[in-house]
Amino acid sequence: MSRLLVLARHGQSDWNLKNLFTGWKDPGLTELGIEEAREAGRRLKALGIQFDIAFTSDLSRAQHTCELILEEIGQPDLKTIKDQALNERDYGDLSGLNKDDARARWGEEQVHLWRRSYDVQPPGGESLKDTVARTLPYYVTEILPHVMRGEHVLVAAHGNSLRALVMVLDRLNAETIPSMELATGVPILYELKADSTVASKKVLDA
């Protein structure tokens, strides 16, 4: 495959397990999360995929996932660029709170609006629209040029920063992107056309 872009959400984190809003907080992977990352690497290795460069966020759960994937495919020393442009959406004042406790405090409807709307910000935090505005320019200027040169590129990041990229790649909009979910530790393979649109998409789930 030429012009290959692989997106991988980090494996399960400790705060995913505890049902906490995480955002820019930095918990590590659980044992399950470590296994999810390794399994992602094994699935990519089974397809014979090797990478030319990797990108990840400024947060350890994404960096650890990236490292584990690269270990499994036999490229532990691959050049990896870390940037907070790929960080998870900042949940602001919700960060560290249990999602059920947040619903009890602010109500189901309000919390749902913060979590699933496109442009409503939680207190002190980012909306998905804000995350797109942060992540997409980085993709266009730093990641996409590598793909368009025919390189194989891995991006290990977060549910919302990757949804920002999927929104563009899959041509979703403000109405359709909020309901789109990315599973932890499941690689998504995109092969791009010469005009940077999608030629093919494959989700490497079990």
Assess if residue 151 is contained within a domain. no
pLDDT value for 86? 98
Over residues 47-60, the pLDDT tens digits come to: 999 999 999 999 99
Structure tokens at 112: 């749902």
- Number of domains observed in the structure of the chain: 1
Among the listed residues 10, 64, 146, 158, the single catalytic one is 10
Is the dihedral angle over the CA atoms 104, 110, 112, 115 positive or is it negative? Answer: negative
- Asked if 88 is an active-site residue, the reply is yes
Among the listed residues 39, 88, 126, 146, the single catalytic one is 88
Domain interval for residue 116: 4-144+159-203
Over residues 55-75, the pLDDT tens digits come to: 999 999 999 999 999 999 999
Please state the pTM of the whole predicted model: 0.95
CATH number at residue 89: 3.40.50.1240
In one-letter notation, the amino acid at residue 136 is L
